Amino acid sequence: MEEHPLKEEGRSIRSSDPCILVIFGATGDLTARKLIPAVYNIGKEGLLPTNFACVGFARREKSHEQFREEMKNNISEFSRTKPLDEPFYNAFQDKLFYHQSQFDDDDGYKRLKEFLDQLDTQLKTKGNRVFYLSVQPKFFPLIIEKLHKNGLIYDKDDERWSRVIIEKPFGKNLESATNLQENIEQYLDEKQIYRIDHYLGKETVQNLLVFRFTNSIFESTWNSKHIDHVQITVAEDLGIEGRGDFYEEEGLLRDIIQNHMMQLLTLVAMEPPATLDADSIRDEKVKVLQSVRAYEEKDFTESVVRGQYGAGFAKGKEVIGYREEEEVAKDSVRETFAALKLNIDNWRWSGVPFYLRGAKRLPKKVTEIAIVYKKAPGVLFDPKNELETNVLAIRIQPDEGIALKINCKVPGQSNTIQPVKMDFRYGAYFGKSPPEAYERLILDCILGDSTLFARADEVEHSWEIMTPILDYWEKNPPKDFPNYQSGTWGPECADKMMEKDKRKWRIL
């Protein structure tokens, strides 16, 4: 490709093609809290294409003006940058439009096409499209089919481009994910599909690759020779927050572990990619998933545990149990806690278990990856094997940062040894409001960069690992639910799983 004479690599703005972003589910919570504030902030940073429009597509009747007014309020409330920049918003709102239609109404899509064509003429958006499906997964195939049928999806050879962003969950198990994939690949090429996992848009998650592959001190010890085990925790202090319907259907394994946590695992465990392009990175991530040892029958009881929260306390207030939540069955067996031990059978990780723990209603909200190193030989200072091991803790949220636990001598005449923490906090060095994950991801999609989106085979392999667990759970309902009190670190069986391996969960 010929180089643009005015562009300077590494210094000029990443310029993008003109386009229109169409958000399906424009009256939903995600649009209000995340998507529109993200588009607004991308615009404020001057990173949106020159010729751009954003069209909200939803079922409710609404005028452009009403939509703009609502979005203004949402941006004021939810944008990371405050207060609302009125002069900027006044110009930005001219690019916001609303289109009312049912998702299954062909006429609605015809009208949408006409409207987008009209905007193309008016705003010179050149026919390029991003369709963001912020809707329930059951509508994905329908909307994609209708878009295709009505000429809104282009062939890959077309000069114009059309891309579709799909929100998780991508399927409910291996079979449904495969079906969904087969369904949408009738209409879309893989390069047109952007499966969003907002964890990948987080600065600290992206920093994982930088941290690993630019610091030789860590990468040279990043293997089974030095590392005892890895713990990945995604803990929420919140309950299901009115999403009883969704949770009864999905559960925690599907909600958090199959996607977010497996993405974290692949980034921690992958080999250095040949290059930083999307496929090189995703190829390496897939290799990790392919190396995860399949569970045997005994593993479902020994290496996997589940739990459900009962009543307890959160943030000093009494809270109800999962079964008392709205839209939840009184005898529900849906899990709100899951912990697994995974083994990666490759050269680097042989014998290093990865422990994953995800849950609702734990004592605090925290996402952390902990690399727990092997003990130093105890010959000199630790004959009783009492010293703590080094731990490299990568905090994804909140208080993003990296901490290293090391042992030090306590000053004085005795030889007392005490662990201390070397702590690096992102906020202290780079400010407290990094760009929201959705900003990065929407912009990347507009730019055609799919590095931070999940590829079909990543999703498929992840389901291959999780589906046998779901099947086992389905056939063997738990008898002890609820088995942990809200505000505690989970059920006893999770601790026992670790104790069996002579290890402990980290107290975070």
Partner 1 sequence: MSATVTPDKIEKKLSDIWDELKMTGQMRACLFNLVLFNPLSKRTEYIKKMSQKVLEKFPCRIILVNHDPDRKELETKVSVIPQDDTEGSVVCDFIEITTGTKDLEKSSFLLLPHLLPDLPIYILWADELDLNNPIYQRIKDQNIRTVFDSECTKDLCSFAKSILYIGCDVADLNWDRLESWRNLFVLNFQPKLYLNDLKKAENIKIEYNCCKTDFFSNTRIQALYFQLWLADRFNWEFVSGSKEKMTFKKEDGSSIDFCLRSSEIKDHKPATIISIQIESGEKTFEFVRSEDNFDQVIFKVTTKTTCDIPTNFFIEKSHEGQSLVKEIYYKGTSKHFISMLNKLIKLPKDCVC
Q: Which residues are designated catalytic?
A: 260
Nearer to partner 1, 129 or 341 (CB): 129
For the sheet with 401-409, list strands across it: 304-307, 337-343, 353-359, 227-235, 366-373, 391-397, 401-409, 417-425
Please identify, using beta-carbon distances, which residue of 30 and 447 lies nearer to partner 1.
Answer: 447
List the one residue out of 350, 418, 422 whose CA is nearest residue 392: 422
Nearest approach in angstroms of CB 92 to partner 1 is 9
Write down the least CB distance from residue 15 to partner 1, Å.
5
**Shortest distance, position 364 Cβ to partner 1, whole Å:** 18
| Residue 414 or 429 having the CB closest to partner 1 | 429
Torsion 243-328-320-253 (CA) sign? negative
CB closer to partner 1 out of 124 and 191: 124
Q: How far is CA 444 from the centre of its chain?
A: 15
- Of 287, 261, 281, the residue nearest 213 (C-alpha): 281
Least separation in angstroms between CB 48 and partner 1: 10
Query: Which run of H or of E encompasses 44?
Result: helix 36-44
CA geometry: angle at 136 spanning 139 and 143, to 5°? 25
382 vs 399, beta carbon nearer partner 1: 399
Helix (H) or strand (E) holding 492: helix 492-500
Sheet-wide strand order for 484-486: 317-319, 309-314, 484-486
Closer residue to partner 1 (CB): 91 or 142: 91
- For residue 477, give the 3-state DSSP assignment: coil
Q: Report strand pairing: 19-24 vs 129-133.
A: parallel
The minimum distance between CB 199 and partner 1, in angstroms, equals 25
Pairing of strands 52-58, 19-24: parallel
Shortest separation between residue 437's beta carbon and partner 1, angstroms = 20
Minimum CB distance to partner 1 smaller for 159 or for 297: 159
At residue 495, the 3 state secondary structure works out as helix
What size, in residues, is the chain? Answer: 508
Strand-strand pairing, 129-133 and 391-397:
unpaired
Q: Which residues contact 113 (CB under 8 A, 6 or more apart)?
A: 150, 151, 152
Q: Which is nearer to partner 1, 378 or 398 (CB)?
A: 398
Q: Among 103, 104, 191, 179, which residue's Cα sits nearest to residue 155?
A: 191
Minimum Å gap between C-beta 312 and partner 1 is 30
C-alpha distance across the termini of the chain, in Å = 50
Instruction: Compute the distance between CA of residue 251 and CA of residue 466 in angstroms, rounded to an integer.
Output: 12
Minimum separation from the CB atom of position 13 to partner 1 (A): 4
**CA–CA distance from 410 to each of 388, 415, 418 (Å)?**
14, 7, 6
Token pair, residue 424, equals: 């690096």
Strand 401-409 to 391-397 pairing: antiparallel
> Is residue 361 within 8 Å of residue 252, measured between CB atoms?
no
Toward partner 1, which CB reaches closer, 3 or 155? 3
Using DSSP's 3-state secondary structure scheme, residue 411 falls into coil
CB 181 within 8 A of CB 210: no
Which CB atom, from 12 or from 350, has the smaller least distance to partner 1?
12
Residue 32 CB, shortest distance to partner 1, in Å, is 23
Burial 262-272 (b: 16+ CB within 10 A, else e): bbbbbbbbbee
Query: Among the residues of 185-226, which ranges form H helices?
Result: 203-214, 216-219
Binding region for partner 1 (CB under 8 A): 4-8, 10-13, 15, 17, 43-44, 46, 49-51, 87-88, 91, 94, 122-124, 425, 428-431
Strands (E), 380-428: 391-397, 401-409, 417-425
CB of 42 to partner 1, least distance (A): 12
CA–CA dist 336, 246 (Å, integer): 12
**Number of other residues whose CB lies within 10 A of the CB of residue 444:** 21
